[in-house]
Amino acid sequence: SHCHTKCFQKTMNENGITVFAVFLHMHYLGRRIKIRHFRGTRELPWLDFDHNYDFNLQPFRTLSPTVQIKSGDQLTVECDYDSSHRNTTTFGGLRTSDEMCLAFLYYYPKLSQTNVCVSGLTHQSIQRLADIDEDIEFGSDSELIDYIRAKSGWNETVITKTNELILKSKQKLECFIFRTGLDLEFNELIGYPNVKQVYKPVKYDCKAS
């Protein structure tokens, strides 16, 4: 899920915000999660990550040092799941048998507007993911979901292709403001920024010396 500069530019001044803590959230299939931070053509260090996620152990994480987010930045939350033990398709949703990919940021100063910044795949992207002819029309989201649930033939090749499509597909951006009920939608689809410098995390050796 991307939080694009378009959201930040609507709500931030040039000084931006300072993030001092985060809360990472998935459900039972979640295995790895990270918050990527992009500025211009560079990827900055991740705000936070958990490569051994446990639904039953979800800590509030303070950041030291704190991280500044500027109005021209983009944040992207990436989640990895393992559903190899299931024989049905899993969708995003509120139930713990569904999945989520969320990051809550604690910051100052208070922003006067945006509370939620999210992005999601378009119907066209979802139909490509499920290898459904784009000429087929569905009367509702539930019809599309039922069609995908009945799909079979998930093998390693299809799974790899699906993961690539999810990462590379352009997404619809929304910024929701709770107090006003205003939902800012942007017609332009968004994705990853064009970066020349990708962040490479430091690898730590956790073996006892």
pLDDT at 138: 66
Tens-binned pLDDT, residue by residue, of the chain (209 aa): 899 888 888 778 888 999 999 999 999 999 999 999 999 999 999 999 999 999 999 999 999 999 999 999 999 999 999 998 988 778 888 999 999 999 999 999 987 766 788 888 887 777 776 666 666 666 666 777 777 767 666 778 877 877 887 888 888 888 876 655 555 666 678 899 999 999 998 876 666 55
pLDDT at 73: 95
pLDDT at 208: 57
Sign of the torsion formed by the C-alpha atoms of 182, 76, 172 and 73: positive
DSSP per-residue codes, 10-28: HH--TT-EEEEEEEEE--T
pLDDT at 187: 67
pLDDT at 176: 77
Q: Cβ of 93: how many Cβ atoms within 10 Å? A: 12
pLDDT at 89: 79
pLDDT at 162: 77
What is the Rg, in whole angstroms, of the alpha carbon atoms belonging to the chain? Answer: 18
In the chain, where do the E strands start and end?
A: 2-3, 17-25, 30-39, 42-50, 61-69, 73-81, 102-108, 116-121, 171-177, 182-185
CA dihedral 183, 189, 190, 196 (to 10 degrees): -160
* All domains in the chain, ordered by first residue: 2-122+170-185 (2.60.120.230)
pLDDT at 184: 63
- The amino acid sitting at 20 is F
Bond before 45 cis per omega within 30 degrees = no
